[in-house]
């Protein structure tokens, strides 16, 4: 009997360049390297460019992406890392809080692909991270690309930079000739 099938949406196409920030927590370097390779491969297939930064751990990933979203100009973000269950409840805290923080960033308008693996052991992480197997890094990059495409589809056109003529400011304020406003 065959196992379940998984469907992946075709990658979106873009008419303007796409720039993505990949943030990785390389605590498990071998896993991180696989995740990065998968994300880079997926972004390259879509013609996107990327920057790569490293942070100490999974809890720092949403903080770094939040800073970039506020202070830099990226179209989207990919968070990569791995949390392996240990002997304490720290695993639950890191998994829940990093995931929740990434979701909140998304709800604030950031196009975030979550590639933080949460697994029981190193073997599970390898299968999920390897671009030749489950390619979760590539999947996180694809998720960010799809969200970027939606944001561009639904986004409002950017207004002109500069000042409005004084006559428009008066009209917008409800004033006009003979007004004391």
Active site residues: 90
The answer to whether the CB of 48 falls within 8 A of the CB of 13 is no
Residue 140, CB-side half-sphere exposure with 13 Å CA sphere: 32
The answer to whether the CB of 65 falls within 8 A of the CB of 27 is no
CA distance 1 to 37: 32
The answer to whether the CB of 38 falls within 8 A of the CB of 7 is no
CA distance 80 to 114: 7
Closest CA to 85 of 55, 129, 123: 123
CA distance 20 to 52: 9
């Amino acid at each position: 009997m065959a196992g379940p099938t998984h469907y992946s949406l075709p990658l979106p196409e873009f008419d303007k360049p796409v720039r993505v920030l990949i943030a990785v927590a390389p605590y498990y370097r071998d896993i991180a390297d696989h995740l990065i390779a998968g994300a880079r491969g997926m972004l390259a297939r879509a013609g996107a460019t990327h920057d790569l930064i490293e942070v100490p751990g999974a809890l720092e990933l949403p903080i770094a992406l939040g800073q970039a979203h506020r202070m830099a100009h990226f179209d989207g973000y990919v968070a990569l890392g791995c949390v392996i269950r240990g002997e304490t409840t720290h695993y639950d805290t890191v998994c829940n809080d990093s995931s929740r923080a990434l979701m909140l960033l998304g709800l604030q308008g950031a196009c975030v692909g979550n590639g933080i693996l949460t697994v029981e052991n190193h073997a599970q992480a390898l299968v999920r991270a390897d671009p030749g197997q489950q390619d979760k890094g590539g999947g996180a990059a694809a998720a960010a690309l799809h969200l970027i495409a939606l944001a561009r589809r639904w986004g409002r056109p950017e207004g002109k930079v500069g000042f409005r003529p004084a006559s428009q400011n008066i009209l917008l304020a409800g004033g006009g000739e003979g007004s004391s406003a």
